Amino acid sequence: MYSQSSTSNGSFMQEQDLLKSILADLRRTAREYTTATTEASCPITRRMFTDLTNDTLRLQGELFNVMQQNNMYSVGSKALRQDVDKQIQSAHQTQQKCQQFIQEKNTQASAYSQAPNVPQHQPNYGNPYYM
């Protein structure tokens, strides 16, 4: 099933080229679903796009593994562990800053909502100095 077919036998394109195209489409689709997930304000819609993202990533991973096992996809060079660790540390710091920012804003919003009611300014139309 995974042998390379040639275009001379009437197939649309070589199997490897077709699978690489499908793999690229799955990566693109996962990016689009991720964007839709982050922009969804409805929890049900957000959950749907999260599930679609996860399913697409699973399919992409399975196709990648099959292609790699059949020597249809060469993997790039391996990343150095220290570079990966730096990226992870940076991501954790960004996440902590974001969580801190959200916590501060939630605290401010909570404090504001608990402030005593201040009467609204009522215009004084009877005052001759009122403009």
pLDDT, tens only, 34-87: 999 999 999 999 999 999 999 999 999 999 999 999 988 777 778 888 988 999
Which pLDDT score is estimated for 4?
A: 47
pLDDT (tens digit, 9 = 90+) per residue, 45-60?
999 999 999 999 999 9
CB 20, CB 73: distance < 8 Å: yes
How many residues are recorded in the chain? 131
Domain ranges across the chain: 1-76, 80-110
How far is it, in rounded angstroms, from Cα 14 to Cα 29? 23
Rounded-to-integer distance, Cα 60 and Cα 23, Å: 6
Q: What mean pLDDT do residues 113-125 have?
A: 56
Angle at 92 between CA 86 and CA 96, to 5 degrees: 145
